[in-house]
Chain A
C-alpha cells in the first residue's frame, strides 16, 4: 500500500523505472505523510466540505430539473483541488476540463454565481450562457471550464507560455483526467512545455474511469506519472485522497515549475463516487468498490478524524462548520432557483468584442 507522494524520479535517469505499479494497491494515509497544523486541517476541512455539499446540492437540483444538460460532479476528488490550491500563490492560474465545480469553488469563485450558472440564470458567472462546463474568472485566475477532452492541456500550456513570455513568475496548474491523458494534444503540449521550460504543472486526476472505461481498458501505460518520461518531464504518483500528500507534492511541483525547470506531472490517484455525469448509473464498477473507497479513504473523513482526535475539536464545533457550509450552499441554491433567466436580448451579445 501507500503510494502516497512517492517520487517517480526524473525521466532519463532511469529512476522512473523503479516506480512500482499501483494496480490493486489499497490506499490510505501513508505513514510518512507530511503533517498539517490545526489551521491547515481546519481550512482544508472547510473548503472540501463546501465542495462536497455544493455538489450534493447540485445533484439534488439536477434531479429536480433545475439544472439541465450535462452535470459532472466532483464528489470524492475534493482533496486534489483543495490541496493543490493551498500550494499556490496569488497570480497562479488554474484551467481544467468539464468536471470543474470544485476547481471554481477552490479558486474562491462565488458559490451563488456557480450555482446560478448551473441553473442557467442571469446571475450565473457566464450570465447563464456557459453552463456547468463553461465558467471563467479572470479575477480569480480561473481559465475554465472546457468541454472538449484534452483541449485544456494545450490551453494551459499556452497560459504558462504567457507567464514565461511576461516573466511574471506565475505557474499554471493544468488539470485533466486519466481519459484526457490519452489525447494527442497532451503530448504535443508536453513536448513544447519541456522544450521551452514553461511553468506548468500537469495535474492528472486519475479517478480510474474515463466515463465508463476503466484505466486498464484504455491505457497501455497506467502509471500516469510516467507519461512525460520521453520528454524528460518528472512525475509523481500521489495519494489524491490525502490532502497532506497532495499539498506536499503540489509544493514540490510548483516550486520546480516556478524556478524555471519546466513542467512537472502529478498523477493524483483519486476516485469519483458518483457516475461520470448525472445520467450515468455507473454500472461498470461494483458497489463494494465504491463503498470501500468512501468508507476507508474519504478525503474529508480523514481530516475530520484528525480534527477530532489530534486537534480535539468537539462534534459541536464540527457541526457548526457544517451548518455554516450548508448555509452558503443553501443560499446559493436559493439564489440560483429564483434568479431570472437571461434577458432574451442576451442571445446576441458577447459574440464579438
Chain B
C-alpha cells in the first residue's frame, strides 16, 4: 500500500513551514531512519526521517516551497513489492506545492504560544466541552462538632505539644512496622528540639534515622520509600530548610498520584517547626502555611493545642496522602490537656470552635491562636463576644465551619503570622465572599505578619509580628466600635 509522507510539525504551535530541501529523489530506496528532507520554520530546522521502508515514488511538494501546512502529504512511498508508478499516481493531493490555507501566524504569536496547534488528525469529539464543576468546598453549612472527638468522662492529662507529638509518633510506630522517622539529629541527639526524644531507644536505628544535612536528598529518599508503600515521617529541623527540598515535596510527593492516574501515591509526613521562633532573623522565621496550602495533592496541618497535635499527627501518619505538618517552636513547650485514650485521633480537614461567641468570628491556626484567644478575652471586657475558630487543617480547609460561624456573627477577622499577600487570611476572605457574602455586616479584616523579612532587633521583630492589640483593633473595626 502506498504510504503518504506528511509534513511534520516541529512544535505544538507550528502550523506550516518551508520544505527546504529534499535529500532523496524519486526512485530512491529508503529505509527507516533515512533522512528524506529538511524543513524549516523561522525558529528551527529539522530533518524528516523515513519511518517505513520502500521506494520514494513521488515527491509532491518540491524543494524551496514555503508555507506548507502541517500534515500535507509531501511525498508518496511505495511499500515493499509495490508498483512504483501505481503508487505515484495514487496521489490524493495535487502534485504542486500545497500552500497553507491560513495566513502564517506572526512570530510573536508563536513565541507567545497563542497560535493554535494544528488539530490532531483524528481527535475524538467530546460531546460536552464545558469544564466540569469543581467539587464544592461547602458541604452542609454547619460547623463540625469537635467536642465529640473526646468521649465524655475521658480523663485528661496535661502534656506539652512536644510530648504529644512524640507520643503520636511512638504509638503509630508501635502499630505499623512501615512507619519510620528520618531527619537531622532525630536519633542520637534525640531531636534538635527534642521532639523525637526516646524514639531511638525504643525503635532502634533502623527506624529512627539520623540523616546528613541534605534536605533535598533525604526528602527525595523519603518520597521514594513512600512510593513503595513505607510510611516515612521526614523531620525538617525547621521548614525554612525545607525550601531546599520543596521540589521533592511538591513535584514528586504531591503530583505523582495525579500524574500516574491514581496508581502511585506517597503516604509521607513532612513535619517540623514552622514560622518565627524568637530573634532568629529572616532566614529562620518564615511561615510557609500559605505556600503549601496552594498545592493540590497535599494536605496541610497546623495544630495549636497538644491534643490536636497528637490526634492530627496520628491521623497524618495513617493518611495515604503526602502531608505537610507545620509545628511551632514556641508552642512545643506549652502544656494542654490531652485525652488519656489508647488511640486518640483527630480527623484531618475539620476546624474546631475553640471559643463560642456571637459578635465576631476570629479565624486562626497554630501560634496565631495565642493572639486570637487573648484578644477574645480583651474584647469580652469591652462587651464584644468573639467566636474563635482554630482551623487546625489548612488544606483541605473547613469552609463549612467558617461559613456557619460568619452566618451567625456577620463579621470576621483572620489572624496569622505569615505575610499578607496571598496569605491564609486572603483565602478565608475569598471563601466567605463566595459562600456568605450576604451575611457579612462588614468587610473581612486580616491581621498578619508585616510585609517585611523578619528583622533581628527585638523591637523591630515585635513590630513585624501580629499583636493582640492589632487583633482587638481589627475586631472592633468590623464591629464598628
Contact = CB atoms under 8 A, between A and B. Distances in A.
Interface stretch (A140-148, A237-245, A250-258, A263-271): A140-148
Contacts of B206: 165
B371 interface: no
Contacts of B123: 341
Interface residues of A, number: 78
Interface stretch (B59-67, B114-122, B149-157, B402-410): B114-122
B301 to A, nearest CB: 14
Contacts of B265: 353
Contact of A60 (B8, B223, B263, B296): B8
A52 B134 CA distance: 42
A144 B228 CA distance: 12
Interface in A90-131: 93, 95, 119, 124-130
B46 interface: yes
B252 A146 contact: yes
A66 B120 contact: yes
Nearest to A191: B212
Nearest to B32: A56
B121 A64 contact: yes
B contacts with A: majority SS: loop
B214 A191 contact: yes
Contacts of B211: 192
B218 A344 contact: no
Given A62-B8, A281-B45, A338-B122, A185 B297 contact: no
B258 A350 contact: yes
Contact of B214 (A155, A188, A275): A188
B9 A136 contact: no
Contacts of B124: 338-341
Nearest to A347: B132
B11 A278 contact: yes
Contacts of B158: none
Interface stretch (A1-9, A156-164, A213-221): A156-164
A119 B222 CA distance: 32
Contacts of A14: none
A162 B224 contact: yes
Interface in A50-89: 52-53, 56-57, 59-60, 62-66, 68-69, 75
B263 A148 contact: no
A341 B126 contact: yes
B257 A68 contact: no
Given A154-B219, A159-B225, A165-B225, A350 B119 contact: no
Q: Which 9 A-B pairs have the closest CB atoms?
A: A158-B224, A154-B220, A63-B8, A188-B217, A127-B261, A188-B214, A158-B221, A155-B224, A350-B262
Given A59-B51, A126-B259, A192-B218, 15 more contacts: A64-B120, A148-B252, A153-B220, A154-B248, A157-B217, A158-B225, A159-B228, A188-B218, A195-B212, A279-B10, A279-B44, A339-B124, A341-B123, A344-B131, A351-B297
Interface of B: 6-12, 32-33, 44-49, 51, 70-71, 117-124, 126, 128, 130-132, 134-135, 180, 206, 211-212, 214, 216-230, 247-248, 251-252, 256-265, 296-297, 299, 320-321
6 contacts: A65-B70, A130-B259, A341-B124, A345-B132, A350-B258, A350-B261
